[in-house]
Amino acid sequence: MFVLGVVIPFLVALLVTLWLSRITSRYLLELLGERLYLILLWPGVVVHELSHLLGALLTLTRVTGFSLWPRGGVLGSVTHEASGNPLTLILISIFPLLGGAFVLWVLTLVLVPGAPTGAPVVAWASGWGATVAEYISAWWNFTRELWSALDLGTWQSWLFIYLTLTIAAHLAPSNKDLTHTAAGFTALSLLAVLLVWGGSLIGQPIGDKLAGWAQGTFNFFLPLLSYALAILLVVAIVVSTAVGIKRLNQRVVWW
């Protein structure tokens, strides 16, 4: 029940968020071209790399290099000492997603005060069919409230839209970061299995304690991740529609 109720919804929200961020980035590159993409979406790079840097500082990992400028096909970078600690690997690698989601939430509070700051959460219901239907309905209500709160006659709303686009395009960690995250999760999972097995041998409920700790961690981050997912759905639909219109105009002769 713990797996169905907490872990699966978290992983679904995580994977869909990463996928939508990649799509948004790729489509914005197609719409803007490489030069404009690098210039206009640079604030998202700043948030991404500063999040990596914060992850390294929080895990007391020595930083050996830091850049916010495109170089050799890389938009920005943070280099640090290698670590064999799986938790360190996870935190540094995944922090751009968490940091970006947090910045999106703060931007909403500051620039669009009337917008909803709580987004629908993916939750296990009576099956995935019901869950998806309930989420879509809740997300649609969230989107309507967000749109109603935007005042396109003010610079704050336009700044919010611009920064949301830039951050959404850079929420997803790189392939290298995802590899480190997967390695860290694998190592932690194996350690958890060994602890549960060892606890069963000595009659200690280590498994229950680990499950409680994991549930608290997932429940803490799920609302933040759900907010990023809800925003990304809006952004991805808008950007995908723009790309579709551009491709149609390139293929059809109207006159």
- Token pair in block for residue 34: 């490489």
Highest mean pLDDT among 63-67, 177-181, 194-198, 233-237: 233-237
pLDDT tier, 156 (very low <50, low <70, confident <90, very high otherwise): very high
Per-residue pLDDT of 203-230, as tens digits, reads 666 666 666 666 666 677 778 888 999 9
**What is the distance between the alpha carbons of residues 63 and 136, in angstroms, rounded to a whole number?**
42
The DSSP symbol for 54 reads H
| Amino acid found at 193 | V
- For tokens 């919010």, the residue is 160
For the chain, give the mean pLDDT.
81
Per-residue pLDDT of 66-116, as tens digits, reads 787 777 666 777 777 777 677 777 788 888 888 999 999 999 999 998 888
**What is the distance between the alpha carbons of residues 173 and 94, in angstroms, rounded to a whole number?**
6
Between 62 and 236, residue with greater pLDDT: 236
Residue 24: CB atoms within 10 Å: 26
Per-residue pLDDT of 119-135, as tens digits, reads 888 766 555 555 777 88
- Which residues on adjacent β-strands are paired with residue 77? 67
Residue 205: what pLDDT? 67
**Which pTM does this prediction carry?**
0.81
Burial readout 70-98 (b: 16 or more C-beta within 10 A, e: otherwise): beeeebbbbebeebeebebbbbbbbbbbb
For the cut 50, the answer to whether the pLDDT of residue 1 exceeds it is no
